[in-house]
Structure 1
């Protein structure tokens, strides 16, 4: 009698009972409300201290809460946020624009795809609002933005009042994406 040995699985999906990593807790992306201002400010604070975000008074979070998308864990914890301001003035070439700002993901959630979900939600919101272009400024590498179709542009292509508000000492790169 010849006994055959099972061939070893070459990929995880080939195994009889594939081992899957535990799923990350479900996160809901939703518009922020005024009552979320304290959590938005608290999430942003470590990024302000590190220099990654500009300091903003608490009132900005309260008055402009409606501009924020937030990623909320099932327990109500705020894991990330990103604001989209529809800019009142068109660009020099007449395009309707928006500006993304205050993008942050809690340190324990970075690398989980949460930032990509927030950015995708902001892009969808920009399209729903019939914006032609979204702009952002980053002092970091901007890799996530670049992977999602943003390209470096001159600040002169952005809405003039927003471009003037950028602090040149921060060395931020301006990126844009046509929607």
Structure 2
């Protein structure tokens, strides 16, 4: 699939900055766009409740600032970042990480839109497989084509960072 045949929401996710207001694709009061370095503090703040519950590992603000280009964000109409998802490249595979949707937005379709935008971004980067780890049910991932996998099938550098004490399950999806 070429960029010209991607659905409008996927095209928005591939743009380096939000499209002009007339071309933005908003639904349910939010748009999905690539993160900017200036989104670093919002990414860190959005992650905090998930860190407190143990769903995410704590990451320093410096990581969000330096790796902002990894992230897609879901931005509310008022400009608030209410969802995020990181995609890192490991050769021909990708890893989705730090997936967060604000509590009041869960169940709104925001997580699904972030995943779809990440799939489009991964395909645009010629990635063939995506991996993630979850300490939760994984329902959203499973509903979007992920299946349980083994850590030894994932990119080795990423798999070495998994903390067995957290009880995370590795999931994978072919693109």
Q: Which bin holds the TM-score, normalised by the shorter protein?
A: 0.7 to 0.9
Match for residue 164 of structure 1?
160
> Is residue 2:60 matched to residue 1:50?
no
- How much has 1:87 moved relative to structure 2? 1.3
RMSD: 0.9
**Structure 2 spans left out of the alignment, 5+ residues:** 1-26
**Equivalent-residue separation in structure 2 for 1:175 and 1:46 (angstroms):** 23
Superimposed CA distance per residue, residues 107-166 of structure 1 (whole angstroms, 9 cap, x where no aligned partner)? 000011110000110011111111010000000010000010000011010011110110
- d(CA) in 2 for partners of 1:164 and 1:173? 14
- In structure 1, the partner of 2:36 is 33
Task: Indicate if the aligned counterparts of 1:25 and 1:74 stay in contact, CA closer than 8 A.
Answer: no
Q: Give the secondary-structure state (helix, strand or coil) at the position aligned to 1:86.
A: strand
Which of 118, 121, 132 pairs up with 1:125?
Answer: 121
* 2:103 equivalent in structure 1: 107
Match of residue 73 from structure 2? 70
C-alpha distance in structure 2 between counterparts of 1:159 and 1:84, whole Å: 13
TM-score (norm 1): 0.81
Aligned twin of 1:12:
none
TM-score, normalised with respect to structure 2 = 0.83
Within 2, Cα distance between the matches of 1:26 and 1:168?
A: 38
Alignment gaps of 5+ in structure 1: 1-23, 89-95
Q: 1:146 aligns with which of 142, 145, 148?
A: 142
Larger C-alpha radius of gyration, 1 or 2? 1
- Aligned-residue offset at 1:26: 2.0
